[in-house]
Chain A
Amino acid sequence: MNAQDEELEPLSDLATSAFSAERARASRGNSAARAAEVERILGRVMVTVGAGVATTAALAAASGTAKAAATAGGTATAAGGTAAAAVTSALSVKVVVGIAALAFAAGTGTGVVIQRSATPPAPTAAPTALPSAPASEPALLAHSRSISPSAPASDAALPTSLPALPFAPTAAPSTSATDSDLAAERALIDRARSALARGDVSACLDATSAHAKRFPAGRLGEERELIAIQALAKDNQLAVARARANRFRKNYPKSMFLPAVDRIVPPQE
Chain B
Amino acid sequence: MSAALRITAFRAIYDANVDYVQATLRRLGVSAAETEDVTHDVFVAVFRHLEDYDPARPLRPWLFGFAYRVALDHRRLARHRSEGNAPTDAEMKDDAPLPDELVEEERARILCQRGLDALDFDKRTVLVMFEIEGRTAQEIADHFSIPLNTAYSRIRLARAEFERHIRKYGAPR
Contacts and interface: CB of A to CB of B under 8 A. Distances in A.
A102 interface: yes
B121 interface: no
Contact of A257 (B4, B8, B132, B169): B169
A31 interface: yes
A52 B172 CA distance: 52
Contact of A62 (B8, B17, B87): B8
- Which among A49, A90, A184 has the highest number of chain B CB atoms within 10 Å? A49
A87 interface: yes
B69 interface: no
Given A187-B89, A256-B173, A260-B169, A26 B19 contact: yes
B1 interface: yes
B77 interface: no
Contacts of A222: 107
A193 B19 contact: no
A25 to B, nearest CB: 5
A113 B9 contact: no
Contacts of B107: 21, 220, 222-223, 256
A254 B170 CA distance: 12
A193 B26 CA distance: 12
A193 B93 contact: no
Interface in A115-133: 116
B120 interface: no
Contacts of A173: 94
Contact of B13 (A58, A99, A219, A226): A99
Interface in B77-123: 79, 82-83, 85, 87-94, 96, 99, 102-103, 105-115, 117-118
Contacts of B15: 66, 70, 103, 107, 113-114, 116
A256 B170 contact: yes
Nearest to B16: A107
A107 B11 contact: no
Contacts of A38: 18
A96 B117 CA distance: 38
Contacts of B19: 26-29, 112, 114
Q: How large is the interface on B (under 10, 10 to 19, 20 to 34, 35 or more residues)?
A: 35 or more
B1 A15 contact: no
Interface in A77-102: 83, 86-87, 90-91, 93-102
Interface of A is mostly: helix
B145 interface: no
Given A55-B3, A200-B82, A2 B89 contact: no
B132 A87 contact: no
Contact of A45 (B43, B111, B172): B43
B91 A31 contact: yes
A17 interface: yes
Given A83-B12, A87-B9, A93-B5, A22 B94 contact: no
A20 interface: yes
B132 A22 contact: yes
A24 B105 contact: yes
A49 B47 contact: yes
A156 interface: no
A96 B8 contact: yes
B155 A8 contact: yes
Please give me the 5 A-B residue pairs with the lowest Cβ-Cβ distance, nearest first: A98-B55, A107-B16, A187-B87, A58-B4, A21-B108
28 contacts: A2-B138, A18-B109, A18-B111, A23-B132, A25-B23, A26-B23, A27-B19, A28-B94, A30-B92, A41-B43, A45-B14, A54-B3, A55-B3, A66-B12, A87-B5, A97-B55, A99-B12, A102-B58, A103-B12, A108-B16, A112-B16, A112-B19, A179-B92, A179-B102, A186-B89, A187-B87, A195-B82, A260-B170
Interface of A: 1-2, 4-5, 7-9, 11-15, 17-31, 33-34, 36-38, 40-42, 44-46, 48-49, 51, 54-55, 57-59, 61-63, 65-66, 70, 83, 86-87, 90-91, 93-104, 106-108, 112-114, 116, 172-173, 175-176, 178-180, 182-191, 193-195, 197-198, 200, 203, 206, 219-220, 222-223, 226, 254, 256-260, 263
